[in-house]
A and B are shown apart, each in its own frame.
Chain A
Amino acid sequence: MSFLTPLYLAGIIAVGLPILLHLVRHQPKKVLFFSSLRFLEHKPPQTNRKNKIEHWLLLSLRALAVILLVTAFARPFFKNTELVLATAEPLKQTILLIDTSSSMRRDSLWTQAIQTAEQLVEKNATHQISIYTFDSRLQPIKPLQSAQQDFPRPDIEHYRERLQTLSPGWQATDLGQALSEMASLLQQQAISDPTGTSLQNCTIELITDFQAGSQIASLADYSWPESLRVRLHSLQTPQTSNAGLQLLAFENSQPTVRILNAADSQQEQFTVAYEWRPGETEFVQQIYVPRGQSRVLRLSALEADHPTPLIKLSGDDHPFDNTLHFQPRRKENRTIVHYGIPADNSIQTPDYFVKRAFPSTPERQIEFLTVGHDAPQLLAGTADMDLMILSRELSVNEIQQVDEFLQQGGVALLSLDKNSSTESLNSLLSLAQDSAAKAQIKAAEVHGYALLTNIDFEHKLFQMFQAPEFSDFTNLKFWSYQKLSLPEALPHQVLAQFDHKDPALVSIPVGTGQLIVSTFGWTPEESQFALSTKFVPIMNAILNLNTELNASRTQFLVGQKVKLPEPVQVIHVSTPSRPQIQLAAGQQDFTETVQPGLYQITTENPSDTAHQFAVNLDINESKTAPLPVEQLEALGVKLIQADETTVDETQSADLQRQALVQELEQKQQLWRWLILGALALLGLETLLAKWFADKTSATRKA
């Protein structure tokens, strides 16, 4: 038998209390002060009150009635199997989320992390345990499983073995993404498997150094589940001094580096030097970096034919982020072909301006070819070209050449000029789309001038103008332009419009490349575009449209994708840890930038020079000062202390049990019977008492 309100049972004291008091009253209450007890001996007064209980039966009946009443108030009920099932312990789930970013390489942090994880596994042996690691992305080690899948549960040794196989990597920490992904996974699990563990019974055990570069800001965009709790195990090392290096630029053989000192560093004086071989440093420079700040340092110039050294930082406690690998950029050769009328220093031709829009720089060598109507056929293959600019009507051969270029992923800019380019455009589109629908082009009526509106600042052409100080296009006036209407079936994207809603710049995908169509010309008689400050940036943006993951880039961060230069050939990549990785033919990206160092890409073609690139740590990993826990809480994550037990883990189960118990008690309603019993006893007691009273009076009279 159980009770709904067992506290009422305390009322049973009401039965025992008078009897107890009666028995306790041995001691006289009155205290008498006497001059001296030297002639007195301790003679406790004898009580003979026990004899006063004359009617044991009456006393028992009364006591029993009180007990029944008290029991009725306590609302008794009998348990059944349904209740036993409902009150069974809910399955709890523990997710170990272990930081494997490069900052965990410091000192004994990794050992601490594994120890903490093992302790948690032992402590939560009865729970369902999952293990995930995270750095810049979340990695399942032992993924979440549904309750049914997890039987029989693996023993502790199994988890221990899994944990021992883990090691910290070199990647940056993205704690925000890891937590939000983990929470989403748990939410999905809770939705897909309602019989399994609810979110209240899940605890994420976050084992991390919780460094300042953990990037938790992305949590602001994520709505953290109210019932999901995270227990933070923040690992600390007693040696807090740490500084890191970042390459900012390499100009005129002089690398410029940023030295960042962590906010809790003890050291503020560091040295930076070149290192050709291990232990051989040269050009040592001292630098003072206050804690929590960074300083930029230009290193000594390197000789052109000298092999590339490492840049070493010293003076802090942790060496994991003290080496900077770098590779000077190779000078690129870019070829731009302009199908236009060659300019004779005449500012009325597009060629005059466009030729000047692409200057050669230390990083690139521009070869600009202007192909006129009567110019000889180009000898260069389309594969070597980077941009085609079309500002005149094209011949059939030229159209084929442009189409071939576009099909290979090239970018062409077509300027519609006085209806002369209509045929060219239609030819290019018809070849690409095989459709009968044609683009309509006619000269637009412009009263005064036209302005650009609805500019797509998200597009790469206009991204650089996003800032408010650059986004003003009202000074750019167009005196004339062509009204272009494209067939609806043709996929295209309008990048900018005129204020008459006519498209100004349109991007049309052709093959793997894109055709950018401008409905205006840039000569001064057509518009102010060539004379404006926007001209050169936009033209160069078009040139770089297709080189976002530029193969000529030589600096990468750990974990970044590297676009391979020649996707069609079989390529070997040698990494710092593995001598050679052969990539499959056709693979465009190399993703195994797993550790810092120099990587070399070689092709099977012996005439190709090896392409080298350097991979370095993210500078955020050098920000090793611990973050305040409050920042994580401020972003909505429900944190509990490392030694705190979750109170509401069992709260919902308790509420459910309480409801069931109440329902059961209401069904049984035993209290009514108890009240009836008590009343019956009291009635019996009354009758008995009367009988005894009569008997006593009769005896007295006699």
Chain B
Amino acid sequence: MSSLPLKQTSQTSQSQKLISQRIDPACLMRIKSLELRAKSVVEGTWKGLHRSPYHGFSVEFTEYRQYTPGDDPRHIDWKLAARSNQHFIKRFEEETNLCCHMLLDLSSSMQFDSLGYSKADYAKTLVATFAYFLSTQRDASGLIIFHEHVDSIVPARFTRGQLRRILIELERPPQGSHTNLVSPLKHAVETIKKRGLVVLISDLMTSVDELDTQLGYLRAKGHEVALFQILDPAEVHLNFQEAAIFEDLETGERISLNPKSAQADYLQQFQTHQESIQAICRKQGVHFHKLTTDTPLEVGLSNFLTDRAA
């Protein structure tokens, strides 16, 4: 059980405070360490929320058990051993009450950038922020990185090194090309047994035909699902000035284009796509957040907190 006062705070006041404390993402991205970025976001947000986040305790003793060979000797209660000359293992109640699984899309389309940092950088920072925050909350966090298939998995748990493991996975250079949303969602459906929060972070620049079904499965298993769509402002507005050859980052396909003449059609189709995603989310009861990469990360964290509390 978490004893943080955050859960008792109203959503509106949180958002207002977060916005007032926000950091420019462009500045944030200049920080090389992913952990430092996450810490900056979380602690900046935290400062506005709570005075002392390090209060209370998170472990609760339940019972002793006789030590048997194979048990971790770290858990032996040495004081009791000194007293009784017998070895007992201390058992604790599970520390967390939230298990968060983050599904991060690192396909080639996420490498697009028009602001000096890519959508992938932004998404990684967002995941790091969530993980950092969850670690401070003693909540379990896990990570699944995917592109056309699941690339790497960090199972959700709360241990000391969990944040480190997640950050290491995030630091690895992406290797995939295409986006395939079905495969990670299917994986999540099949492997995540305990109910929790599933956070899908992707640009969703792909077909969303199967998204409905897969989200439905997740929801049916009782998971809370949040969908963070990361977009570059250029993708939202297509505000390029010069004619150029446009090359698809995922397929390598090339077309020569005058963006000005193509803008109207693009925006229309893009809008249709967005609407279909939102419709799916609405239908499945999924929290949908669209974040452009110029949006301060605190907004994302704030949205996450909202979804977590829900």
Q: Which residues of A contact B (CB under 8 A)?
A: 27-46
Contacts and interface: CB of A to CB of B under 8 A. Distances in A.
The interface centre, meaning the residue of A33, A36, A37, A38 with most chain B CB atoms within 10 A of its CB, is: A36
Contact of A34 (B112, B206, B265, B269): B112
Given A32-B240, A36-B250, A43 B112 contact: no
A364 to B, nearest CB: 108
Nearest to B110: A35
B257 A33 contact: no
12 contacts: A28-B243, A28-B256, A31-B254, A32-B247, A33-B111, A33-B247, A34-B112, A35-B112, A35-B248, A39-B269, A40-B262, A45-B256
B258 A45 contact: yes
Contacts of A34: 112, 235, 246-249
A35 B247 CA distance: 8
B248 A36 contact: yes
Contacts of B235: 34-35
Nearest to B119: A35
Interface residues of B, number: 34
A255 to B, nearest CB: 94
Contacts of A27: 245, 256
Given A32-B247, A34-B247, A40-B255, 12 more contacts: A28-B243, A29-B245, A35-B109, A35-B111, A35-B248, A37-B251, A37-B255, A40-B246, A42-B257, A44-B257, A45-B258, A46-B258
B62 interface: no
B109 to A, nearest CB: 4
Interface string B195-220: 00000000101100000000000000
Nearest to B261: A43
Contacts, number: 86
A28 to B, nearest CB: 4
A38 B205 contact: yes
B59 interface: no
Given A28-B245, A30-B245, A32-B246, A40 B266 contact: yes
B242 A33 contact: no
Nearest to A42: B255
B204 to A, nearest CB: 10
B61 to A, nearest CB: 52
A33 B244 CA distance: 10
A41 B249 CA distance: 16
B43 to A, nearest CB: 32
Interface of B is mostly: mixed
B223 to A, nearest CB: 28
B253 interface: yes
Contacts of B109: 35-36
A33 B111 CA distance: 9
A33 B240 CA distance: 12
A36 B243 contact: no
Nearest to A36: B205
Contacts of A41: 262, 265
B192 to A, nearest CB: 29
A33 B112 contact: yes
A35 B248 CA distance: 6
B31 to A, nearest CB: 24
B298 interface: no
B248 A37 contact: yes
A5 to B, nearest CB: 43
A37 B245 CA distance: 11
B270 interface: yes
A30 B244 contact: yes
A135 B235 CA distance: 95
Contacts of A31: 244-245, 247, 254
Contacts of B261: 43, 45
B287 interface: no
The interface centre, meaning the residue of A28, A29, A35, A38 with most chain B CB atoms within 10 A of its CB, is: A35
Contacts of A37: 246, 248, 251, 253, 255
B139 interface: no
B257 A40 contact: yes
Contact of B273 (A33, A39, A43, A45): A39
A30 to B, nearest CB: 4
Nearest to B251: A37
Interface in B77-92: none
B250 A45 contact: no
B262 to A, nearest CB: 5
Interface string B223-254: 00000000010010000101111111111011
A53 B262 CA distance: 29
A452 B14 CA distance: 145
A36 to B, nearest CB: 4
B145 to A, nearest CB: 18
B256 to A, nearest CB: 5
Nearest to A30: B244
A29 B254 CA distance: 12
Contacts of B262: 40-41, 43
B269 A45 contact: no
Contact of B232 (A32, A35, A42, A46): A35
A35 B257 contact: no
Q: 9 smallest A-B Cβ distances: which pairs? A: A45-B243, A35-B109, A35-B112, A45-B258, A36-B205, A39-B269, A30-B244, A32-B244, A37-B248
B255 A28 contact: no
A43 B240 CA distance: 14
A194 B232 CA distance: 90
B256 A44 contact: yes
Contacts of B110: 35
Given A33-B112, A40-B257, A28 B244 contact: yes
Given A27-B256, A28-B242, A28-B256, A39 B249 contact: no
Contact of B206 (A36, A42, A45, A46): A36
Contacts of B250: 35-36
Contacts of B255: 37, 40, 42
A438 B10 CA distance: 167
A43 B258 contact: yes
A39 B248 CA distance: 11
A35 B206 CA distance: 10
A446 to B, nearest CB: 119
Contacts of B246: 32, 34, 37, 40
Contacts of A28: 242-245, 256
A527 B248 CA distance: 122
A32 to B, nearest CB: 4
B269 to A, nearest CB: 4
Contacts of B245: 27-32
B163 to A, nearest CB: 29
A306 B232 CA distance: 123
A27 B273 CA distance: 30
B203 A35 contact: yes
B256 A42 contact: yes
B185 to A, nearest CB: 19
Contacts of A32: 240, 244-247
Nearest to A34: B246
Interface string B95-118: 000000000000001111000000
Nearest to A32: B244
Contacts of A38: 205-206, 269
